[in-house]
Structure 1
Amino acid sequence: MLPRSARLHESADFRRVTRSGVRAGRPTLVVHAASGTAPGSRVGFVVSKAVGGAVVRNRVKRRLRHLVAAQLVGSPTGLDVVVRALPAAGTSPVRVETDLASAWRQARNRLSPGPTPVSP
């Protein structure tokens, strides 16, 4: 479970991250990331009715919270992330874990790219 301090709550924060941050999309979800305003990293989730009924949406949110808690351990501090589940997240939950790890890594790399390789 994510502690309260590690969650996004304000709609303005969700809007800022989704509009001004970087985006990495996969078939089951989209990860938006931006530099945060709080000292620690924070995460928010968007799971619409297109994903499924209430039972399916809650199952997807619980799974995402569990998977994101593991991703936060290795992430830099001061990062705000919004994870938006797509309808495929409700129908193919097995793929969500690999998609989240891949999209998280790509968004983090786009936000703070490493040194660029020098071409000969």
Structure 2
Amino acid sequence: MHPDLLQDPRSAILLEALRESEPCVSHESQASPADASVAVGPALTPNQSLVPRTMDGFGALELVSTKGIAERMEPSERFSPRTIGPLVQRCIQLRLAERPEGDRSGARLTLAGRGLAKNIAE
């Protein structure tokens, strides 16, 4: 990187924003150089992956409650809203979902969450 870029405050802000948007990957799970073109997604259990997959069935702008997610799940895979709450929180921590209106106003998938949900469904 060019040294002048690091001295410009606007560049420093941009670089910090880019660093924050990069997925966190531990050294043990990093892809080898041969696999550099393959994106590494977050580690989700099969049960955790049901939440973004179900949330993907709602509109991109629709804020959905845990009860709404539970009602949309297949009966054979359905969790209670009490179980879904922490799973939604995990998705928020991984930046797969967001609560733009606050903690009690429902959640929606981010673009990264929608992309992951599409991969899970395939």
TM range (shorter): under 0.3
TM-score (norm 1): 0.27
Higher Cα Rg: structure 1 or 2? 2
TM-score (norm 2): 0.26
Instruction: Return the structure number with greater relative CO, CA threshold 8 A, min gap 6.
Output: 1
